Structure 1
Amino acid sequence: MTAQTQTGRRAYVTLLTNARYLPGLLLLDHTMKEVNTRYPLVVLTTPSFPSEHLDLLETLGMETRRIELLEPKGEVTLIAERFKDTWSKLQAFALEDYERVVLLDCDMTVFSNIDSLLEDPDILPSSDWIAANHSCVCNPLNQDWYEPDCKPENCAYTYSQSHPHSPPPPLSLLSTKRTYTLLNSGLVVLSPSPSLYHRIVNHLHTSPTIASMALPDQDLLAEVFEGRWKPLSWRFNAIKTLRWVHPELWFSKDGEGKNVEGRERNEKCGGDGVAVLHYIVEKPWLDLVPSSSRDAETQRWWWSDWHSMLDSWRADPRLEGYVERVGGLVVQGRQE
């Protein structure tokens, strides 16, 4: 009996609106297969995504669904142009043929199996809740669009550092600080339903706060699901900056007292390290960073996985013909 017939239809879902993000999706798919996930990856594509690449996604076993852009009705101010399509990923809430989905950004790679997010009945207190990670509000780059209370002492991950064996922070504390109510929508566990989707679209089209949201889809989710979202461990949406902003979470000690991280930590320390790595801001396949960059190490991980993926394609008659095509979509050079 398959996992789908045992537990109902469940899937991972991501959004792809243009070819610039295709390398990210390909490596997300590859790393999910490497950790032996039991569930399919469904890709929502908009008309702006070139249809010439759909055959590759089909060959890799991904299901694609064409959607139209979901947008607010009025004028909005965005902190980055790349955020203009992000509301569209909320159409995952309309996938009524799935009982539960995990919505993922396609700039992620998977370090350990996360099927528990689809299978554990305790992840969602009820079907009108979501589960997600907190937003890191430390503002290490001093960006001016952060609210004044966004500073390390108010960050949920600062709480996690001193309470390693409790949720980050527990539900009972979410109302004690505004910053504890902020989520990161890179990974969201949800139960699709017409009523939830209608609530989201109605908020998008009618709420006066939409025009001033700095981070469109995740700020919207934080408002719509205020008091009805459950915090997940940092490891399920480990933004790459956590490595140097919250090293107490990122690193662990092995039996010899050596700092370990990434897959090595999962192997040596009982799988309590990064499960999903989120490449926020600069994308490894689009921008090489200087070797002195604090993100150079995690960038190197992405490239190592990318070359491993292409090696596996070269050994597969179904995929070897795509190697040159996707090679033209990534920045040329080498991450030092």
Structure 2
Amino acid sequence: MSTSASSPRRAFVTLLTNARYLPGLLVLDHTLKQVGTRYPLVVLTTPSFPEEHLALLKALGMSTKRIELLEPRGEMMLIAERFKDTWSKLQAFALDEYERVVLLDCDMSVFSPIDSLLDDDSLLLSSSWIAAAHSCVCNPLGQDWYLPDCTPANCAYTHATAHGGAPPPVELLPSKRTYGLLNSGLVVLAPSKTLYDSIVHHLHTSPTVATMALPDQDLLGEVFDGKWMPLSWRFNAIKTFRWVHPELWFAETDGGRRLEGRERGDDGVAVLHYIVEKPWLDALPSSSPDLETHKWWWADWRSMLDAWEGDERLSGYVEGVRRLVKSEADL
């Protein structure tokens, strides 16, 4: 394995287009620092993100890069309005000042070190490949935009459960359509102008783009069909894994204790992905199986603000960011 642990030309990158998602970014940054990352977090911001918040990002040590929205041409059939900005995160592929980037969604929390994704050169078979975790196709909520083959029997994580947590390997991906589906919440990539231009060309010319349910994710699946390396579930553990794939999430100790995914260290949840409802924005019913993971986000939020209160550079920002979240009592 070749590594470049001290390279300054590697970074985590995320996209922020509005203030509603700023709390998510702040917790992502806080938890990355909590696990001792050696790499910077670069934030791509669009003109719709209020400039008044840029000083806070700078105070926290984040780098920012202003970009314009990247969009397809023509009408789209999006399943959610919030997806209309997500094409823009593909501009991480244009950051050729970096030799390696890990693109993260800002609705994520980090529970154990993930610098290995930037250190390990063997993760990408070549600079034209990417690495990502599979998409879960179990469709537990019965959403009608899933295709008929999206069932637990065809899910890559059902395969992983039967194979010690390991995802289907590259050579097995063509065996089922669903094994070829990636989740774009975390993507390891080597930026280049050539690669970025090919992505934009596909975005602007492919007839399939207009019908993509999950914009950037589906596009990456097409552009990198047969050219992506599967990552372990733990690097992009969507919160529903806790109840959809509990055999992956939980582990039993010798004493019979059931360990939560976040308690398991190097073989448990490294990155938790808060898909759909966001802890800081959305109320969950008391019956929701996601209540537990949302509690974890709030614990990280409180820990972060407590640290800010004791830092003269950051204490003045506390009340302003508190106004961006719904109080826990309201959720």
Q: What TM-score do you get using the length of structure 1 for normalisation?
A: 0.96
- Per-residue CA deviation, residues 304-333 of structure 1 (Å, 9 max, x unaligned), is 110010000001011111110000000123
Report the identity percentage: 72
SS in structure 2 at match of 1:303: helix
Aligned equivalents of 1:66, 1:222: Cα separation in 2: 26
Aligned to 1:300: 295
SS in structure 2 at match of 1:334: helix
SS in structure 1 at match of 2:326: coil
Aligned to 2:245: 246
Aligned to 2:308: 313
Aligned to 2:205: 206
Aligned to 1:37: 37
SS in structure 2 at match of 1:244: helix
Which amino acid counterpart does residue 203 of structure 1 have in structure 2?
H
SS in structure 2 at match of 1:136: coil
Post-superposition offset of 1:131:
0.1
Aligned equivalents of 1:329, 1:202: Cα separation in 2: 37
Q: Give the number of equivalent residue pairs.
A: 329
Q: Give runs of ≥4 in structure 1 deviating > 4 Å.
A: none
Aligned to 2:277: 282
- Per-residue CA deviation, residues 198-234 of structure 1 (Å, 9 max, x unaligned), is 0100000000000000000010000000000000000
Aligned to 2:47: 47
SS in structure 1 at match of 2:6: helix
In the alignment, structure 1 residue 255 sits paired with structure 2 residue 250 = no
In the alignment, structure 1 residue 73 sits paired with structure 2 residue 68 = no
* 1:335/1:152 CA distance change after superposition, 3 Å: farther
Aligned equivalents of 1:306, 1:291: Cα separation in 2: 21
Which amino acid counterpart does residue 243 of structure 1 have in structure 2?
R
CA contact (8 A) 2:4 2:120 kept: no
Which amino acid counterpart does residue 46 of structure 1 have in structure 2?
T
SS in structure 1 at match of 2:187: strand
CA contact (8 A) 2:4 2:119 kept: no
CA contact (8 A) 1:4 1:10 kept: no
Stretches of structure 2 that go unaligned for 5 or more consecutive residues are none
Aligned to 1:265: 264
SS in structure 2 at match of 1:168: coil
Q: How does 1:1-336 map to 2 (within 5 A)?
A: 6-164=6-164, 167-266=166-265, 271-334=266-329
Post-superposition offset of 1:289:
1.4
Aligned equivalents of 2:48, 2:7: Cα separation in 1: 34
SS in structure 1 at match of 2:137: coil
Aligned equivalents of 2:207, 2:248: Cα separation in 1: 37
Aligned equivalents of 1:263, 1:134: Cα separation in 2: 20
Aligned equivalents of 2:329, 2:307: Cα separation in 1: 20
Aligned equivalents of 1:55, 1:199: Cα separation in 2: 34
Aligned equivalents of 1:312, 1:150: Cα separation in 2: 43
Post-superposition offset of 1:275:
0.1
Post-superposition offset of 1:335:
7.8
* 1:5/1:125 CA distance change after superposition, 3 Å: closer
- Per-residue CA deviation, residues 209-268 of structure 1 (Å, 9 max, x unaligned), is 0000000001000000000000000000000001100000000012311111133222xx
Post-superposition offset of 1:6:
3.2
Aligned equivalents of 2:112, 2:247: Cα separation in 1: 20
Which amino acid counterpart does residue 304 of structure 1 have in structure 2?
A
Which amino acid counterpart does residue 215 of structure 1 have in structure 2?
L
- Per-residue CA deviation, residues 138-187 of structure 1 (Å, 9 max, x unaligned), is 0000000001100100000000000016x310111100000001000000
Which amino acid counterpart does residue 167 of structure 2 have in structure 1?
P
Post-superposition offset of 1:7:
2.7
CA contact (8 A) 1:103 1:188 kept: yes
SS in structure 1 at match of 2:272: strand
Aligned equivalents of 1:42, 1:8: Cα separation in 2: 13
* 1:54/1:4 CA distance change after superposition, 3 Å: farther
- Per-residue CA deviation, residues 80-138 of structure 1 (Å, 9 max, x unaligned), is 00000000000000001000000000000000010000010111011000000100000
RMSD of aligned residue pairs (Cα, Å): 1.3
Aligned equivalents of 2:8, 2:315: Cα separation in 1: 34
